[in-house]
Amino acid sequence: IAGITQAPTSQILAAGRRMTLRCTQDMRHNAMYWYRQDLGLGLRLIHYSNTAGTTGKGEVPDGYSVSRANTDDFPLTLASAVPSQTSVYFCASSDTGGGGSDEQFFGPGTRLTVL
Amino acid sequence: GQQVMQIPQYQHVQEGEDFTTYCNSSTTLSNIQWYKQRPGGHPVFLIQLVKSGEVKKQKRLTFQFGEAKKNSSLHITATQTTDVGTYFCAGPNTGTASKLTFGTGTRLQVTL
């Protein structure tokens, strides 16, 4: 069982380019999340999805979009990358999305550098 | 907005010494979770506390939830090099459809 996979592992991207980070889970979890991790700032929620077909904005959604066409996949798109989006991106999932009481399972992360 | 702060930001101990990290929320929490992230790795769930004043132990790790449910602590007894990593607390964010708000994390370094 893989759990959560993310691709690519790392990427260097020119500013202004479009980029999609992929996330797939095989646990049939309803809820999925995207976080960015920056030194000294911990993990900040970008977007989330409580169930397939629905998405919501987190703490830092600007410059990012997501979609949830099915249960397993939750891609994160940067329409026009900027250097401030240089970060480590983690995808996570939980069995349900309500109440913030479920354990979250994290993928291995994608290290993105925007030049 | 809700803030979850952790102190210290960083601690360096010698193997065998004890370690404590403290987590403080600006709002009352219905529960608190703790995660560990090894260097270069991803966060991994450790435990969840729900009740006021609750104390839970996992081998050398002791987790406590404050009486007012606004703070929590993680204490490691006799640290080992395997304890190296960053420890995060996280609590429900009522301002974002009850998603988790993660604390700023405490990075623990253990040397022989």
pLDDT tens for each residue of B15-26: 999 999 999 999
Which residues in chain B are contacts of A50 at CB distance < 8 A? 97
**How would residue A41 be classed by pLDDT, with cut points 50, 70 and 90?**
confident
Strand B10-14 to strand B106-111: parallel, antiparallel, or no bridges (unpaired)? parallel
Query: What is the least distance, in Å, from the CA of B29 to any CA of chain A?
Result: 10
Residue A1 confidence (pLDDT): 60
Q: What is the DSSP letter of A114?
A: E
User: Tokens standing for B98?
Assistant: 């009850």
pLDDT tens for each residue of B61-79: 999 999 999 999 999 999 9
First to last CA, chain B: 41
User: Tokens standing for A25?
Assistant: 């889970």
Q: What does each C-alpha distance from B50 to B29, B87, B112 come to in angstroms? A: 9, 19, 35
- Of B72, B87, B73, B103, nearest in space to B2 by CA: B103
- Of B86, B88, B94, nearest in space to B72 by CA: B88
| A33, A35, A40: residue with CB nearest B104 | A40
Residue A2 confidence (pLDDT): 74
Residues of chain A that touch chain B, judged by Cβ-Cβ distance less than 8 Å: 33, 35, 40-45, 48, 50, 56-59, 90, 92, 97-101, 103-109
Which residues in chain B are contacts of A90 at CB distance < 8 A? 42-43
Residues A44, A63: Cα–Cα separation, whole Å:
14
Kindly give, in sequence order, each residue whose CB lies less than 8 Å from that of residue B83, ignoring residues fewer than 6 positions away. Answer: B19, B60, B76, B108, B110
| Mean pLDDT on A85-104 | 87
Which residues in chain B are contacts of A104 at CB distance < 8 A? 33, 43, 45, 100
pLDDT tens for each residue of A72-84: 999 999 999 999 9
Interface test with A, best of B94, B100, B101, B107 (most A CBs within 10 A): B100
| Helix, coil or strand: residue A48 | strand
First to last CA, chain A: 36
